[in-house]
Amino acid sequence: MRGEKMDISHTFARLVVELNKTAQPFQSSIVLKTNNRSIDVKSILGLTSIVLQSNKFELEIYGPDEEKAKKEMAAVFHKFHLPVKVNYQ
């Protein structure tokens, strides 16, 4: 049982780090919205608290490289089998 909890914690930590690392190179604004809260995905502390408390996510991405950012950020959520809505226009 204890091992399972560590796996969940490890998976959670990997998700947060991968989201943050994926967002960093982009010039676009990348905001994660969930449960009436919004956080800049480039802020690892804010990202940690919002991801821990949620299971439904929405990404709002705007800027010069937004199309590439949308694809790469959505891919991270899909890799971890988490649903995400992205502001495709």
User: In this predicted model, what pLDDT tens digit does every residue of 15-65 receive, in sequence order?
Assistant: 999 999 999 999 999 999 988 899 999 999 888 888 877 878 999 999 999
Q: How far apart are CA 67 and CA 74, in angstroms?
A: 11
Containing structural domain, residue 32:
2-86
Q: What CATH code is carried by the domain that includes residue 27? A: 3.30.1340.10
* 41 within 8 A of 31, measured Cβ to Cβ: yes
Answer whether residue 3 shows pLDDT above 70: no
The interaxial angle of helices 2-23 and 44-52, nearest 10 deg, is 130
Number of domains in the chain: 1
pTM of the model: 0.85
Q: Which residue has the higher pLDDT, 4 or 64?
A: 64
Q: How far apart are CA 80 and CA 89, in angstroms?
A: 24
